[in-house]
Structures are given as structure tokens and as C-alpha cells.
A = this chain, B = another copy of it.
Amino acid sequence: MNDYDSRREAPLDLASVFLGPKGENADVFEKLLLEAFRDHVFWRRNFHPEDGFHVTEGEKHSPDYQQAISTLSQELMGLLGELKAGVPFFSPRYIGHMTSDLTMASLIGYFATMLYNPNNVAAEASPVTTRMELEVAAQLARMIGYDPDAQWGHLTSGGTVANYEALWVARNVKYLPVAVRWAAEEMGISGLAVALPDGTQAPLDQLDLWQMLNVMPPAALDLAARFRERVGDAYRAVHALASHSLEGLGFQEFGRRLGTIYGDALPPGVVLVPSTAHYSWEKICRTLGIGGAQLVHVPVDRRFRMDPDALEATVRRMAERRQPIIACVSVIGTTEESAVDRLDLIAETRERLARELGMGFYLHADAAWGGYAAAITRGPDGARRTYTQAMRDYAPEVWPEEGVYRGLVAMERADSVTIDPHKLGFVPYPAGAISFRDRRSRDLVAVEAPYIFHRGASEWGYIGRFIMEGSKPGAAAAAVWMSHKVLPLDSRGYGRMIGATARGALVLHRRLSAGDWSPFRVVPLPVPDLNLVCFAVGHPSLGTLEETNAFVDRIYRAMSVSDARAARTLEYFVTKTELRQPEYGESAVPLVEALGFTRDDYLRVGAVAVIRCTVMDQHLASGRGKVDYVSGFSLALKRVFAEELAGTGTRE
């Protein structure tokens, strides 16, 4: 299963990976597309040829058939026309949202597989692509650094669902020791030992509620395994747990029992996230019944990374309040700044405080954006590269910073990691992925489907039992699988590709920082960890932060697609975000001050707006083609600044 061994050593030509901004590789693409299609057609034709044809050539001359095909052709032409009102994500000129060109391997692989229509809910409906899904999940797990024999992972429709699933597991594992205790009592099983966060072992039935809610995730899973062993019959054990667990009883009944038995209602569990966390975490906490208010934002530092000291202070505050922490979420590549948390320091803080305070909680890495960047830490043989080795590839850029490297490597210390192939994996939607370090996690969310059966002992027979979703495209698995074939998850494949985008971002950041923008003031955020560049824009005539924010909004509107602005009329495409005070706290103050405003202004207005540039295209600063895009973008910015200040830009 170690794909790394079979990798060729030759450097990869990145120019061959995409269809290209001008469709440069259209000839190859078209040839392979036709090959895939015809290959499929002849597979159909060779399956029970004795059945004959269901539409004869003669019937195709009937007026009804002709009319139906005319309708199809006409509607397709209509669709193709409509699509051209879309956005040119394929162009280096597009540095807006997290969308770009896709690898040819994934596009053709997706299409080829879609013709077969496999459904990865169960291997019986997807014998080939379910295997591919588990293969790519194992590849991602190996890149992270999980033990391939112990991990469990699969694809999802996207990072949001992957994050749902991680927190669903975290919630269930948090309350698992209580469920085991009740189930053991019911079945007359005593003497179950459990490891405490300080490393000691204790009998489960002598723990108080607080201790039970602070068992570390692996210890909780060990405890459940020990319970199952003692019960002997797996089926009975599962049912006993289900009738005492949070997921079985629901929060209301589980909470009532806690109150009755321990004389106290369950203290609301909280989820810690950096203040830069994706907005979907609030949605996830609401949906899972944890509550949006139980999402605790941990302040970030001036590089927009979760501050380990702030994390420590938060954990200590929770310990004082005896408020359980369900999970701490670290972000590897924020959606606004591409900031990579110092996950190494976060993991260390968790472990140290577990020992000191006896407080255990789940650690999840939301690497939906930045996960693929961990490819830079792997050599062609799959071994970890040192920081020096990794950095050498990108000289003369000094990238990655050592802290970023350490954050990426530390994903192996998280209990689970979300990685989106449909982001920096450059494959089509829908392709998110979730990796769990401990495959037993999935037992916490497993249900039975009556109409799907295991084939003997084949454990991958029906992965739908272990996931949040149901039906899902086998084509997505094939697309990721193909893309990993041409771009391995190491320094020569995805590592180089993502390095090229980081280089583009660094060049852009330098240009923005060093350029002469007078009379305007361009204030970039600090050097990005990966490949997002944000900057604010001021002008002496804009006397307030409100006016400045409104000006940034006008720049954004002048450089993005809308009903009033078709893509073909635009030169460059950006997006915009706001650093809002409730989440960003002090970390945005330096930016506000550099614009000439005060901390008080920021508090009053509540947010500072910035232009946001996502660099996913390898060509932004590659020097290929005839245009220097970074210079072109700078010129375009200057023109837009002037027009929007004067009010002479095209109005919407």
C-alpha cells in the first residue's frame, strides 16, 4: 500500500498538469477524453451482445427521435452560452475565491468514471471506486503521518461535512466513558480500568463525573474496547452502549440522567477554535446540538495563528469553571490569510495541561485549505524531510517558515484532520476528506443498514455505515486517485505545485509592500504562511475607517464579477473580507494603525475591510506567457484606485 515506493524520480513538468489558461493542452485532453468515452461505449456493447440494440439506426430517423435530439443539442448550446457568463477561474488573472483550474487527470478521471455511475455508499455499488476512495484516504493519512494500519479515513462532499464528522466523533468520544460506565453497571461488569490524562490508571466506577469527562480520546476508545471484550458478544456490547450513550439517548435524556445520578445537570461542553476559524464551525456546533454559544474563540497572534498562551489561559479558565472541552480545533491554512497554526505548540500545550490539570480533550486539525501543503514534508520515498531539505526546494524564496513546517508536521499529533482535495488538491467538487488517527473512532458513529450486506469479512464492504452522508459519487474518488497518480503527495508532486503558488503569493506580497502607491496607502497583512494575500487600502482624503472600508468595497466591486460586470470586461479578479473585531480582537489593530486609524476607531466600526487574493495558479509569477501578471495587477490596481476615489469607475 505504500505508493511512495513506486514513484519515478524524474522532475515533473507542472505545465503538463492542467488544461492550461489558453487550453494549451487541449490536444492531449481531447484525445484522452475520447479514449475514455469510446472505451466505455465498447464496454457496454460487449456486455451480452446477444441482447441486440434497443435503438436501431432506422428508429433514429423517426421524427420523434430527431426532435428529441434536436432539443438536447439546442439545450446544450444554451447551456454552453450560459456558462460563458461564468468566471475564468482557469486564468492567472483570477485571484479571487479558492477556485482554479483542475488537473487534467482528475477531470478526465471524473468523466470516465461518471459514465459507470458508481455510488460509493457501498462497495457492491462501487467495487472499484470504493477501493480507490480508501486508497486515497490512506495516502492522505500517510502524508499526515498517521499509522496506516491504525487510521481510518474517507472522502466527503467537502470540508464542512468532514468537520461535522470530526466534531460528531469528538462529541461522542467525550461522553463515551459515562456510557461505558452505565452499560457496564447494567451488565454487571466491574473492574474496568481507564487511563487518566496524568498517565495513571483508575477504576472507571470510582471516577467522578468531571474525571469521566476528561479522559483523553485514545483512553476512552481503549476503555470501550475493554468493555466489548468483557461482554464478549460484539452485537450485545454495541447495543448496550447505544442505550446509554449520548448519541443513543440524545442530549435531553442523557442530561436528565446525569442530573439524577450525579446531582448536577451536565455542564455545557465547549469547542475551542482560533478566532480565524471558518464560519461553518458555528453552524456545526448549532447542528450537533452543542450550541453556537459554546464555541469559544481563542485569540490569534499577529500572524493570525492561534496563540498557544491564549489557548493555555482558555483551558485553565475552563478547568476553574469545571466546564468540559469537547474539542480544540486548530486551523492549518485559514480561509482569510492562509495562516498555519503552530499545531506543534498547541499539541504540546494540550499534553502538558492534560498532565497538570487532568483535563483531556479531542484535538482536530481543520486543514481543509492547507492540508496538501504537508506534501512538502515528504520525500519521494515517503520519509519526512528535514526543514532544511524542505526549504531548499523553494530557494531563493525563504519558504516555508520553520513554524509553518512544524505546524504541518504536527498534524500527525491531532486526533483527526480535514483535508479538501477540491481545494489545493486541484480536483473537481465534491471532494473533501477526513482522516482519523484511530480507526476505532468510526465505531462511535456506525449504524446498520438492513439492505446492505457485508461480503464475508471485507471491512470496506459498506462504508456508508461509518459516515455522515449516504450516496456519493465514485467518480470523485477516481478523480482524486488519478490526480494523486500524476502529482504524488510529496515534494516533487503536490509539494512543488503548492510551492509554486506560495511563490506567487510571496512575489505579490513583496510588490504590494514595496510598491509606490502614493497618494494611496497599501497595507498588506503580514507575509502569508501559504498562498493568500490580503491588503487594506487607504487615502488621505478618506478621513474615517468607515470611508476607508467603503472604498475597499468599491475596489472589490470593480474587480469582481456581478450582474453588472461580466468577466470579459475585467482584467483581474479579487475578493474581499472583513477582519471583524469580535473574532479578530487585537490581531487586526496593527493593520488599522498602519492605515492611520486608532484602536478606538476599530472598536467603534467593528471591522476593517481588506482585499483578499487567493493564489492557486502556478503561473502568477512563473514568467511563462507574455504577461507579467503581478505587474499587470499592480497597474490595474492603481487605475481602479484612482477611478474609484474619483467616482469615475463603472457604476453597478
Contacts and interface: CB of A to CB of B under 8 A. Distances in A.
A485 B75 CA distance: 7
Interface in A65-122: 65, 67-69, 71-73, 75-80, 82-93, 96-97, 99-102, 104-105, 107-119, 122
Contacts of A321: none
B51 A471 contact: no
A577 B124 CA distance: 13
B50 A23 contact: no
Contacts of A481: 79
A34 to B, nearest CB: 7
A475 B111 CA distance: 12
A348 interface: no
B127 A561 contact: yes
Task: Give the top 4 A-B pairs by smallest Cβ distance, nearest first.
Answer: A250-B291, A289-B289, A52-B626, A251-B251
Given A21-B54, A292-B242, A265 B256 contact: yes
Interface residues of A, number: 194
A511 B117 CA distance: 29
Interface stretch (A191-199, A299-307, A448-456, A592-600): A448-456
Contact of A71 (B428, B486, B556): B486
A352 to B, nearest CB: 28
Interface string A451-468: 101011010000000001
Contacts of A77: 35
A578 interface: yes
A336 B86 contact: no
A251 B247 contact: no
A100 B11 CA distance: 42
A19 B44 contact: yes
Interface stretch (A154-162, A372-380, A392-400): A154-162
A88 B576 CA distance: 47
Interface string A258-271: 01000001111100
Given A90-B44, A291-B247, A473 B15 contact: no
Contact of A291 (B76, B132, B248): B248
Contact of A117 (B22, B38, B101): B101
A146 interface: no
B88 A13 contact: no
A543 to B, nearest CB: 24
A76 B288 contact: no
A242 B71 CA distance: 49
A280 B452 CA distance: 13
A62 B10 CA distance: 13
Identical copies of this chain, number: 2
B110 A114 contact: yes
B13 A26 contact: no
Interface in A474-488: 474-475, 478, 481-482, 485-486
Contacts of A470: 158-160, 280
Interface stretch (A182-190, A433-441, A497-505, A617-625): A617-625
A576 B122 CA distance: 13
Interface string A138-176: 000000000000000000011111001000100000000
Interface in A613-652: 619, 622, 624-627, 652
B10 A23 contact: no
B55 A76 contact: no
Contact of A473 (B65, B164, B251, B429): B429
Contacts of A292: 242, 247-248, 250, 447
Contact of A294 (B25, B65, B250, B283): B250
The winner among A72, A456, A472 for most chain B CB atoms within 10 A is A72
Interface string A566-585: 01100100011110100100
A562 interface: yes
A575 B89 CA distance: 43
A17 B47 CA distance: 20
Interface string A524-563: 0000000000000000000000000000010010001111
A583 to B, nearest CB: 8
Contact of A128 (B36, B85, B625, B626): B85
A222 interface: no
23 contacts: A10-B64, A12-B68, A16-B55, A16-B72, A19-B41, A22-B44, A25-B55, A26-B41, A28-B73, A35-B77, A39-B80, A54-B619, A71-B486, A72-B105, A76-B109, A83-B116, A97-B119, A97-B122, A250-B292, A255-B265, A288-B288, A429-B472, A430-B471
A602 to B, nearest CB: 15
Contact of A22 (B51, B249, B282): B51
